[in-house]
Amino acid sequence: MIFHILTIFPEIFSSFVETGLLKKAIEKNKIEIYQHDIRDYSDDKHKNIDDYSFGGGAGMIMKPEPIFKGVEAIKTNFFDTSSADVPVILLTPQGKKLDQKLVEKLSANKSLILICGRYGGVDDRVSKHLVTEEISLGDFILSGGEVAAMAIIESVARLVEGVVGSKESIEKDSFTSGLLQHPQYTRPSKFRDWEVPKELLSGNHKEILKWQRRESIIKTFHLRPDLINDISLTQEDQKIIDSIKSKKYKQE
């Protein structure tokens, strides 16, 4: 998987790509990450990449020319043609909200081009004539799209084969199953007056899995009930939900 980032602050990504999981993935040639400075594609002698908004309004607007040139240069230099069929994503508050389903969809591509918006927004011709998808982290405002780009890169990279050591780790991640992950514990088995649930110490794999599923459902029901409607429930799952509603089960 290859990620191309168009940003006016490429230095923001330096430590991001040089630590943890991404650093190891790059060293193992599982992913490649390239930062491209949008200012490098400006024809302005001062390298300006923004201007006032036609019609007035607060904030400067990012100009279309440098962004178009940047994307076309990436396609030409890395894919041999400026018309290469590569997803071009604009990180913007008006975009589709990022979730695990969208991450899985993005991971099916070999390359992604991520455009990080800044200032008061991006000239709308970028959205209409260059971008294939607009993505947002949620209903809140950031100073730019760099943090959103990092979220996409890390979440997509985790799904690339060989990046995460254990396939089971991915399968049990929150949202991969449609549910939040069950509570996690480690040593000591008793800390102060709080003990690890006995099921996890039983050594009975079947009982452990049953406990994990039940606790995932309970946690999801209490913290993200909106997710329950989007998953396929077994009869046993439904019994757990009915029991929660009757207050038989509580979060551990």
pLDDT in tens, 180-206: 989 999 999 999 999 999 999 999 999
Can you tell me the distance from the alpha carbon of 62 to that of 48, in angstroms, rounded to the nearest whole number? Answer: 9
Identify whether 251 is part of a domain.
no
Can you tell me the distance from the alpha carbon of 244 to that of 241, in angstroms, rounded to the nearest whole number? Answer: 5
Same domain, 208 and 129: no
CB-based contact 250:218 (threshold 8 Å): yes
Tell which of 117, 133, 165 closes a domain: 165
Tell which of 133, 165, 197 closes a domain: 165
pLDDT band at 174 (very low <50, low <70, confident <90, very high): low
Same domain, 78 and 16: yes
Can you tell me the distance from the alpha carbon of 231 to that of 178, in angstroms, rounded to the nearest whole number? Answer: 6
Identify whether 160 is part of a domain.
yes
Identify whether 51 is part of a domain.
yes
| Residue 151: partners with Cβ closer than 8 Å, 6 or more residues away | 98, 137
Is residue 81 exposed (0-12), middle (13-18) or buried (19+ Cβ within 10 Å)?
Answer: exposed
> Is it the case that residue 83 has pLDDT exceeding 80?
no
Identify whether 53 is part of a domain.
yes
Tell which of 140, 165, 190 closes a domain: 165
Helix orientation angle between 235-245 and 205-223, rounded to the nearest 10 degrees: 50
Helix (H) or strand (E) segment spanning residue 100: helix 100-106
Identify whether 250 is part of a domain.
no
Mean pLDDT of 239-249: 86
Same domain, 127 and 184: no
Same domain, 195 and 78: no
CATH number assigned to the domain comprising residue 137: 3.40.1280.10
pLDDT band at 81 (very low <50, low <70, confident <90, very high): confident
pLDDT in tens, 215-224: 999 999 999 9
- The structure's pTM equals 0.86
pLDDT in tens, 139-158: 998 999 999 999 999 999 99
Same domain, 35 and 157: yes
Q: How many domains does the chain have?
A: 2
Question: For residue 20, what are its two tokens?
Answer: 């943890």
Same domain, 198 and 155: no
pLDDT band at 230 (very low <50, low <70, confident <90, very high): confident
Query: What pLDDT sits at residue 173?
Result: 66
Can you tell me the distance from the alpha carbon of 174 to that of 167, in angstroms, rounded to the nearest whole number? Answer: 14
Same domain, 184 and 150: no
Radius of gyration of the chain (CA): 23
Query: What pLDDT sits at residue 27?
Result: 98
Domain containing 29 equals 2-165
Query: What pLDDT sits at residue 250?
Result: 63
* Ranges assigned E (strand) in the chain: 2-7, 32-37, 50-51, 61-62, 88-97, 111-116, 133-136, 190-191, 194-195
- Give the three-state DSSP class for 183: coil
Same domain, 47 and 154: yes
Same domain, 197 and 132: no
What single string gives the DSSP state of each residue in 115-146? EE-BTT-B-HHHHHHT-SEEEESSSS--SBSH
* Average confidence score pLDDT of the chain: 92
CB-based contact 30:159 (threshold 8 Å): no
| CA distances (Å), origin 188, targets 185, 191, 195, 204 | 9, 6, 9, 19
